[in-house]
Structure 1
Amino acid sequence: MERIDVRRLTMEGRRMLRQVVVRLRKQSGMSVKELSKVSGAHPTTIKGWLARARTEGEKGLGEKRRGRPVGACRKLTLAAEAWIRDQIVKGNPQQIKLPFALWTRPAIRALIRDHFGVDLQERLVGKYLKRWGFTPQRPVKRALEQNPEAVRQWLEQDYPRLRAQAAQEGAVIYWGDETAVKEDAHWVRGYAPRGQTPVLAVPARWTTLSMISAISPQGKVAFQIVEGSIDAVRFITFLTALIQDVPQKIYLVVDNLRVHHAKVVTAWLADKKDRIEL
């Protein structure tokens, strides 16, 4: 029989092959060389099986755990790993006086070196992070002034009421916001002769641009770009154009920007409650 690599067999396949070899040895008294020809296993492998059968019986023919034990050769103890994971989850490096803003492999390497006196390679730190279930992620920006509890209450209580009222009146809900716009393009790469870096001419002073927009839960977007910052007059101009384009009544959800509470805006909205409400 052609020689086979026993290691490539399944666990069950190896167990059955061991049993067959041992039974052939007992019943027919075949030599190791003959058993190797019949089974395809290497003679040295067969000798090991027969030795195990003599000392441990047929129970010794079962599959034994292969490779290193779990946790062997690790640089950190399980307690140390748990402590490090806890530090990563609880806060950021600056809170424990490390010179990093976010958790990176160099930051975690410094944490391990400072607290446990073990200097790991960054590649090994990455393996530990993967084992712990951590992945590299871009942080989400959140305004410092945001009140998470108030946001949760609005989403769970106020917004369902607003949505029900809009459905009852046949109105639509839009979400409005304002942002500054920078008029230079993203830097791009292009080809040029070696040593002759192309020059992209840009103005030294930027013209202030702002965008005001509104989007519905269905993804319908209305926006306007204006020069300068958003003030009460520009906000009213946008609202006027918005109600002209949308035939239904509009409930516009906005943030706490001062412009939204301006007296002229409130006065403009006073007689238009059948068309728009903030």
Structure 2
Amino acid sequence: MGKYLKRWGSEVLAAGQAGRRTRSGGRSRLVRGTWPAIRARAKADNAEVLFGDPVGIRSDQVTGRTWGAEGATPVVRRTGIRFSVNAMFAISAKGRMHLIVFTETFWAKATCRFLARFGGHFDRKVDLIVDWHPAHCSKAVWSWLVGHKEQVELHFLPSY
């Protein structure tokens, strides 16, 4: 996992540096202690480890460069219709990805629906590492997890 984190621009920080970048040095604790423990437990349980996060997608104008006839100001035609969708995804260190797209607000109901669909895609337990988004910590999600202990287990990233 350290290779992936380094490739994605992360680094293991010394204790003094970690305190400046995170509230409690959580990233360093994740890389050195929490992540190896999750990985070892998943290996012992024959579980798969994935990282999950929600994302919002909007169709707003992206200002940038465009092409047009030389000497003429380019005109970009738009319909004026805007839309937005939300998505929740999970990806493994090996690149296996699961995604659900929905139009409602990202909250506990959407998280439970994602976990239910997501857990059904595996024939073994899944350890899902997520951030501290309020939807991940809600009572509805916790009660769903209690009934599905053999399918999905959540682990939380340190706050930053």
Q: Shared fold (TM-score greater than 0.5)?
A: yes
**Alignment-derived partner of residue 154 in structure 1:** 30
**Alignment-derived partner of residue 118 in structure 2:** 242
Shift of 1:201: 0.7
Q: State the percentage of identical aligned residues.
A: 21
TM-score, length basis structure 2: 0.74
> For residues 239 and 156 of structure 1, do their structure 2 counterparts lie closer, same or farther at Cα, with a shift above 3 Å needed?
same
Shift of 1:275: 0.7
**Alignment-derived partner of residue 197 in structure 1:** 74
Shift of 1:188: 5.4
Q: Which moved more, 1:213-222 or 1:192-201?
A: 192-201
Amino acid at match of 2:31: L
> For residues 148 and 183 of structure 1, do their structure 2 counterparts lie closer, same or farther at Cα, with a shift above 3 Å needed?
farther
Select the structure that is richer in helix: 1
Structure with more contact order per residue of length (Cα contacts < 8 Å, sep ≥ 6)? 2
The aligned runs of 1:1-278 (5 Å cut-off) are: 146-147=22-23, 149-184=25-60, 187=64, 189-192=66-69, 194-195=71-72, 197-203=74-80, 206-278=82-154
> For residues 208 and 251 of structure 1, do their structure 2 counterparts lie closer, same or farther at Cα, with a shift above 3 Å needed?
same
TM-score, length basis structure 1: 0.44
Select the structure that is richer in strand: 2
Q: Answer yes or no: is the 8 Å Cα contact 2:125–2:151 preserved in 1.
A: yes
Structure 1 unmatched ranges of 5 or more = 1-138
Amino acid at match of 1:155: V
Amino acid at match of 2:67: G
Of the two, which has the highest radius of gyration? 1
Shift of 1:184: 4.5
Shift of 1:173: 0.2
Deviations 1:166-198 (A, max 9, x none): 001110000001121122475552333643533
Q: Answer yes or no: is the 8 Å Cα contact 1:213–1:224 preserved in 2.
A: yes
**Alignment-derived partner of residue 53 in structure 1:** none
Shift of 1:151: 1.8
Structure 2 unmatched ranges of 5 or more = 1-8, 11-19, 155-160
Deviations 1:15-48 (A, max 9, x none): xxxxxxxxxxxxxxxxxxxxxxxxxxxxxxxxxx
Give the Cα–Cα distance (whole angstroms) in 2 for the partners of residues 145 and 213 of structure 1.
26
Q: CA RMSD in A?
A: 2.6
Shift of 1:146: 4.3
Q: Which moved more, 1:263-272 or 1:147-156?
A: 147-156
